A and B are shown apart, each in its own frame.
Chain A
């Protein structure tokens, strides 16, 4: 039994570990050269950090999982592996195509795997709503601030503002403070009333949150120690500066997140770190044909299996519920992908998963963007950063073409056609243009998952076998013999 796990964050590591324990041969792929994903993005070994654990939650869990997968004789860990294509096959899990080597370089080694089962644990990235000035250097996603603080000990500024929505803002502010920055404030767009309504209602349904209380208490204590103000019902509505950010305007917002006129205050700052939630990285799941739910997550059953037999999904792909949920889901996905038997251990993981799913549902209900955000845009506000398409251009081209298809609107406006392929602007563009598109296509559909150099594609095409003879595949793709006969 061969299982390929894509992504080595909490979900992927837990999946690899569980699949190994169930007796499978496992290949764990990650695009980074380190294990841990974004949650445990950490200093390189060369930093010789004696107390790396002070920068992380559950660092001991990471160390144990990393040790297990790297030392297990049935596990191949392939770092620097960028999966760029899942190719559906007539039977079995899809064929996995990856490039292995330095990030974005040409001529990387090709890796092709034909596993019996596949676990997708590709995680999520920040969603950032646009606002005037958000393309200025000095404006970052909150995730960038967190990643650079934890993996490089870089603070993105000395007078930082953290803004957006959701509890993720708290660890970001803490990481900045631990990296020596003064955090001027954390601005949460959700109003106090909505917070109380959302988190205060039916608290007995929030058993998972009880386990998170010490973590929350830690952030509160840290914020008090570092004198970081926390304000609700407030949003960054503009960043000011010529070639980099110099100040930011914060406004009070109503329950729909529409700014309230006359409440603006301007703060001098050199780093604005913004996050309005997370977008799951769905490309591979969509490429594999997995059913995506109405709220844009991968649908899974009680065993974390997607709608496609042999393909499992875990972590942020199935709902944004944090690392504890990801660990539980990963353990289930890896176990069942490897055909493991039912056991008390797996029963516990399933119960933990169910508790944290409730937490994630609540999180989304309370902090997900409200439609009033569009009211802080101006006509000249950039929406698509890559192609530099403004709000005014988007709406004017839409009205001129009278198009109601997302595909045609992308082609006529160019929004989402740049090098990031709509990863940053996609959902914002969809909301601005109206969500019901005639073609039913969303911006998450990217069959080629990462940029591929044309020369590499040409080389791959030249090396393709003339027929789909599975008996020759092993010869033509030498790395495939690592794990991959099916």
Chain B
């Protein structure tokens, strides 16, 4: 057993979940309470990893949970590199997982200079 969502009937915060959102994740239909993040929907449905790293092809999911680490990125619609812990699930979202190896040999020892490209069109600040 991994992560799970506390059922509302057991919740000391006395929450009521009468609305659900439904999303598609790599073709599979998942749902969670309205207001969930995409990470929340995935965790509730038994998935604690949803990305494979580029170099070592290792599974990753959520790590920092507050939008700092970017470990939990995935694709929502045609937008890549969306932090699952920060984006609320919207009804009908089509989510794909980002599993991409690098064009050079994955898992090989890394030389000082290589041709690895960032996994996205994003830039993340200067390289210093």
| The 10 residue pairs across chains A and B that have the minimum distance between CB atoms | A144-B65, A44-B35, A137-B49, A49-B15, A448-B125, A451-B122, A50-B14, A46-B34, A47-B15, A103-B86
Interface of A is mostly: loop
CA distance A157 to B61 in the complex (A): 14
Are A144 and B44 closer than 8 Å at their CB atoms? no
Whether a CB of chain B sits under 8 angstroms from the CB of A481 is no
Q: B125–A447 contact, CB under 8 A?
A: yes
Interface size on B, residues (CB 8 A): 69
Q: How far is the CB of A134 from chain B (nearest CB, A)?
A: 9
Q: With A and B bound together, what is the CA distance between A153 and B83 in angstroms?
A: 19
Beyond A38-B66, A140-B64, A152-B43, 17 extra complex contacts between A and B, CB < 8 Å: A50-B16, A104-B81, A140-B65, A141-B69, A144-B63, A152-B37, A154-B5, A154-B43, A158-B1, A244-B2, A244-B48, A270-B2, A393-B110, A417-B127, A445-B128, A451-B70, A451-B122
Give the A-B contact count at a CB cut-off of 8 A: 227
Asked whether, in the complex, the Cβ of A148 is within 8 Å of the Cβ of B40, the reply is: yes
Tell me if A447 and B10 are in contact (CB < 8 A).
no
Contact of B53 with A271 in the complex, beta carbons under 8 Å: no
Interface residues of B in 1-32 (CB under 8 A from A): 1-6, 10-19
Q: Check: B97 CB closer than 8 A to any chain A CB.
A: no
| Chain B 106-128 interface mask (CB, 8 Å, partner A; 1/0) | 00011010000011111111111
- Which parts of A119-169 form the interface with B (CB within 8 Å)? 125-126, 135, 137-141, 143-148, 152-158
The residue in chain A whose Cβ has the minimal distance to the Cβ of B16 is A48
Q: Does B101 contact A (CB under 8 A)?
A: no
Within 8 Å of chain B (Cβ to Cβ): is A296?
no
- Which residues from chain B contact A47 at a C-beta distance below 8 Å? 13, 15-17, 33-35
Interface residue? A45 (CB, 8 A): yes
Find the B residue at minimum CB distance from A388: B55
Tally of contact residues, A, Cβ under 8 A: 84
Mark contacts of A65-108 with chain B using CB atoms, 8 A cut-off: 1 yes-contact digit, 0 otherwise. Answer: 00000000000000000000000000000000000001111100
Return chain B residues, CB-CB under 8 Å to A140: 62-65
Closest to A150 in B: B13
Q: How far is the CA of A126 from the CA of B68 in the complex (A)?
A: 9
CB of A419 within 8 A of CB of B124, answer: yes
